[in-house]
């Protein structure tokens, strides 16, 4: 069958009848939140950030004000971690916000998604892996400072294999989460560009 014949059938298709059209239901729909995965990821990120803030603040206060100030260093470690997490969540949120441009041309929107998603996964991987040695080193200095009798050097020997292991675990997790979607977007882009 020729494309022109299909066009004839296409034009004869009816739109859903007016009787089914419900103006109030459409307006109610506008009040709802988007269920698209990116919108849900952004909402989850905000939720996680708030949860972390709520959990860390009491811990910081307890270590800062309690124990006659002897464990104040722990609260500084927590503050450092909180600042790190804030930067981490902010960066992820910004990347998610930039990921889509529904009013752009299809090709440029796909290219933008591939580019931003790659940056997002790279950031996810690097921070997820880098956090382990950073936390180790911070703990090392606190122990050396607060408990000079304890030698934490043997811990540091474990640092290298643990960091390498974490890198591969994170890489596999990130690939499982986003790998297939990035591949699909790349294939779509390739198809658009090929002549």
Of 114, 94, 92, 110, the C-alpha closest to 102 is 110
- The answer to whether residue 14 forms part of the interface with another protein (CB under 8 A) is yes
Give the HSE-up count for residue 28: Cα atoms under 13 Å, Cβ half-sphere: 4
* Binding residue for another protein, selected from 102, 148, 154, 161, defined by CB under 8 A: 102
Interaction residues for another protein, span 103-122 (CB under 8 A): 103-110, 113
How far apart are the C-alpha atoms of 59 and 66, rounded to whole Å? Answer: 10
3 interacts with another protein by CB under 8 A = yes
Number of other CB atoms surrounding residue 81 within 10 Å: 19
* Contact status: 176 vs another protein (CB under 8 A): no
38 binds another protein (CB under 8 A): yes
Residue closer to another protein, measured from CB, 11 or 157: 11
Residue 1 binds another protein, judged by CB under 8 A = yes
Q: What 8-state DSSP symbol labels residue 7?
A: H
Cα distance between residue 62 and residue 74, in whole Å: 10
Q: Is the dihedral of CA 70, 72, 77, 81 positive or negative?
A: positive
Asked if residue 10 binds another protein (CB under 8 A), the reply is yes
Report if residue 195 touches another protein, rule: CB under 8 A: yes
Nearer to another protein, 2 or 153 (CB): 2
Question: Residue 14 or residue 153: which is nearer to another protein going by CB?
Answer: 14
* 32 close to 43: Cβ distance less than 8 angstroms: no
Binding site for another protein (CB under 8 A): 1-3, 6-7, 9-17, 20-27, 29-30, 32, 34-38, 100-110, 113, 181, 185, 188, 191-193, 195
């Amino acid at each position: 069958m020729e494309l022109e014949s299909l066009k004839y059938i296409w034009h004869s298709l009816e739109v859903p009848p007016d009787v089914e059209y419900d103006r109030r239901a459409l307006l109610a729909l506008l009040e709802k939140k988007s269920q698209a995965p990116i919108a849900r990821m952004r909402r989850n990120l905000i939720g996680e950030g708030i949860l972390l803030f709520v959990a860390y603040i009491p811990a910081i206060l307890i270590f800062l004000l309690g124990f006659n100030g002897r464990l104040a260093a722990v609260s500084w470690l927590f503050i450092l971690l909180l600042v790190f997490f804030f930067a981490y969540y902010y960066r992820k949120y910004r990347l998610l916000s930039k990921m889509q441009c529904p009013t752009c041309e299809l090709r440029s929107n796909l290219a933008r998604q591939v580019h931003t998603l790659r940056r997002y996964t790279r950031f996810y991987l690097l921070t997820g892996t880098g956090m382990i040695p950073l936390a180790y080193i911070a703990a090392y200095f606190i122990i050396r400072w607060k408990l000079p009798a304890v030698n934490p050097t043997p811990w540091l020997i474990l640092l290298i294999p643990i960091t390498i292991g974490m890198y591969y675990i994170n890489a596999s997790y990130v690939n499982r989460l986003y790998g297939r979607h990035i591949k699909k977007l790349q294939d779509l882009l390739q198809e658009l560009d090929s002549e």
